[in-house]
Amino acid sequence: MQNIRNIAIIAHVDHGKTTLVDKILHSTNVFRENQDSGELIMDNNDIERERGITIFSKNASVEYKGVKINVIDTPGHADFGGEVERVLKMADGVILLVDAFEGPMPQTRFVLGKALELGLKPLVVINKVDKENCRPDEVYDKVFELFFNLDATEDQLDFPAFYGSSKQGWFNTENVRTEDILPLMDGILEHVPAPEAKEGDLQMQITSLDYSKFLGRIAVGKVTRGEVKEGDWIALTKPDGSFKKHKVKELYTFTGLGKVRATEVKAGDICAVVGIDGFQIGDTIADPENPEALPVMHIDEPTMNMSFGINNSPFFGKDGKFVTSRHLVDRLTDELERNLALRVEPTEDSNTQLVYGRGIMHLSVLIETMRREGYELTVGQPQVIFKEIDGVKCEPYETLVIDVPDDYSSKAIDLVTQRKGDLLVMEAKEGMQHLEFEIPSRGLIGLRSLMLTSTAGEAVMAHNFLEYKPFKGAIAGRSAGVIISKDQGTSTPYSIDKLQDRGKFFVAPGEEVYEGMIIGEHSRNNDLVVNVVEAKKLNNIRAAGKDDSSSIAPKIEMTLEECMEYIQGDECIEVTPNFIRLRKIHLKEVDRKRFEKSMS
């Protein structure tokens, strides 16, 4: 037990967690000297690498001075807090990583609060001290204040602090550059307690899962009591007290970035168990003669929902492999097994499911993953979840933090207050304004793109769920209408050129469009139906080269998240493996008018 340390690395998004894990792996010689490991080694998912964020928590294991250190890399984005909450159960200590300029951010507060509740021993690492305008001493004071506000114990308040740079590969207890990160590794051995050895029969809570084409679903967790052996019978215990016996077919422990076969794993170590069917995250692996379940993990509830339906556009089935409602339901059911923060409910329409998640990013990653797997679907406008508390209609509120140059601070404040946000903190730091707001979650939908446009891309936004509070009234939606295609066909340069004064287009000449598809943003606040497939009529008195003189503005490209924030209640997004299109729910104009009449 004394030769094991289990530590999770937690931080706000983009503060350098995964880069620190890279340096830990290199400093403990996990790779050969001539091996090219690349950067952000733990972010091995395509979406993670493209977005530059960690989405799924991952395990690695290194050996330092004869001690096995299990390292858990966690996501930093607030929408993936469910991943952090469950994997903290495997840790005995946490490294809290904080940017030396930005200081503690909303997600820092959230994940640290969870870690302190579990009684984990914290180490504070103030990262990026090589950046200009960094303020490590001031950030240290802010971190201490945060610990105090989160009711940390005296032992937790007496945290060791390390300063350095993940990118440059050094850390030290003083803000003085050293050659490596070994002072931090020594700090882990000194300050993180060894796992507590509890007397009694086997207990191991499943906190994560892995998957293999050959082995199927693999249960991952920390053995908290007793020991698990390959070939032994165990009881898979459910939260309701029921249990079922299974045989451990194979057993693995983590070494480096992979797993190695083990015959037995004792209390305190993290392992992967093969051969258990029908398990869920939160279930307990226990002794078959005396099955005792561990307390159920509480995961914060979702705050947003979206409708997921089959693709019923004229281009249905042209692009994807999985297009039926059965495919959609099966895929969402599979996702529920590993995505604890997700909920799925059927609707009156058998072709549509209501999917609940933590936020726009959480849901968009699921949609993007399904798209890459070959699914076709339509998704509706994100809606926040309202609750009735003591007879009062309540909605989710979030803490919003914006760092913006002084010149743009008034624009940023104006945008947030228009969306029912209240300014709580405003402080200057090195030519920037640090703004903190309390805002309804509804107000955040579509705010990021407006904020970046109004501040020339200089604003840095972060937000985190706060609590449910009384409903704050209507919030103004999109100010502009949309341009809708009247016919199906191929868009022509001639038609788009003639319509450019009506607004901006989301399609380029030569793209396939259909009736009811949203092809642009109108310059006024009403919707406009146009014909973009009309070709120029040919005659025998055309001037040579006249068609080449037209100049068409480039189309507006929008990411999936931007599309989700852009659409209104009567619109949806068609998502296929190769295309993301905006469209009206009712494609025919006569159907839209009939629906509007029925609603008025």
Identify the pLDDT of residue 268.
85
Beta bridge partners of 426: 435
**Which among 158, 135, 157 is positioned nearest to 146, based on CA atoms?**
157
Is 328 inside any structural domain? no
Q: Are residues 80 and 169 in the same domain?
A: yes
Q: Is the residue at 89 inside a domain? A: yes
Q: Domain holding 184: CATH number? A: 3.40.50.300
Distance in angstroms (rounded) separating the CA atoms of residues 157 and 147: 7
Which of 191, 221, 249 is where one domain is finished?
191
> According to the annotation, is 129 in a ligand binding site?
yes
Residue 571 to residue 586: CA distance in whole angstroms: 8
Q: What is the CATH number of the domain that holds 435?
A: 3.30.70.240
User: CA 117 to CA 114: how far, in whole Å?
Assistant: 5
Is 130 annotated in a binding site? The answer is: yes
How big is the chain by its Cα radius of gyration, in Å? 27
pTM: 0.80
Q: Tell me what pLDDT residue 50 has.
A: 61
Q: Are 140 and 171 in a shared domain?
A: yes
Cβ atoms of residues 302 and 342 within 8 Å: yes
Does residue 361 sit within a domain?
no
Q: Which residues of 127-139 are buried (b: 16+ CB within 10 A; e: fewer)?
A: bbbeeeebbbeeb
Residue 37's pLDDT is: 45
Domain match, 37 and 172 both: yes
Residue 325 lies in a domain: no
Question: Is 420 among the annotated ligand-binding positions?
Answer: no
What pLDDT is attached to residue 36?
A: 46
For 132, the domain range is: 4-191
Judge if 215 and 127 occupy the same domain. no
473 in a labelled binding site: no
17 among annotated binding-site residues: yes
Out of 156, 191, 226, pick the residue that ends a domain: 191
Q: Is 501 within a domain?
A: no
What is the token pair recorded at 19? 């880069």
**Is 418 inside any structural domain?**
yes
One domain, residues 179 and 48: yes
Establish whether 153 is an annotated binding residue: no
User: 378, 311, 375: which is closest to 577 by C-alpha?
Assistant: 375
Residue 319 lies in a domain: no
Do 135 and 34 lie in a common domain?
Answer: yes
What is the number of domains present in the chain?
3
- Are 155 and 211 members of one domain? no
CATH number of the CATH domain containing 210:
2.40.30.10
Q: What is the DSSP letter of 256?
A: B
411 in a labelled binding site: no
Give, in order, the Cα–Cα distances in Å from 283 to each of 48, 91, 186, 252.
28, 18, 35, 19
Q: Is 14 annotated as a binding residue?
A: yes
Q: Are residues 49 and 154 in the same domain?
A: yes
Q: How far is CA 495 from CA 487, 506, 509, 584, in A?
A: 12, 14, 9, 21
Q: Tell me: do 157 and 214 sit in the same domain.
A: no
Report which of 240, 259, 241, 242 is spatially closest to residue 250, judged by C-alpha positions: 259
The one-digit pLDDT tens for each residue of the chain (600 residues) are 568 888 988 887 777 777 888 788 877 765 544 444 444 444 455 665 565 565 666 778 888 888 888 888 777 666 666 667 778 888 889 999 898 888 887 777 778 888 888 888 899 999 888 877 788 888 899 899 989 888 888 888 999 999 988 888 888 888 777 788 888 889 999 998 888 877 788 888 888 877 777 777 788 888 888 888 898 899 988 877 788 888 889 898 888 777 888 888 888 888 889 888 888 878 889 888 888 888 877 767 788 899 999 999 999 989 889 999 999 999 998 888 777 778 999 999 889 999 998 888 889 989 999 999 999 999 999 999 999 988 999 999 988 888 888 888 999 999 999 999 999 988 887 778 889 999 998 888 888 878 888 888 888 887 878 889 999 888 877 788 999 999 999 999 989 999 999 999 999 999 999 999 999 999 998 999 999 998 877 766 655 455 554 688 899 999 898 899 889 889 999 999 999 999 999 999 899 888 888 876
Look at residues 252, 286, 320 and tell me which one is the last residue of a structural domain.
Answer: 286
Residues 8 and 129 in one domain: yes
In 3D, which of 504, 503, 507 has the Cα closest to residue 517?
507
In this structure, the answer to whether residues 241 and 113 fall within a common structural domain is: no
Q: Look at residue 516 and tell me if it is in a domain.
A: no
Per-residue pLDDT, 24:
81
Q: HEC states along 464-477?
A: EEEEEEECCCCCCC
Say if residue 397 is exposed, middle or buried (CB neighbours under 10 Å; 0-12, 13-18, 19+): buried
Same-domain check for residues 213 and 185: no
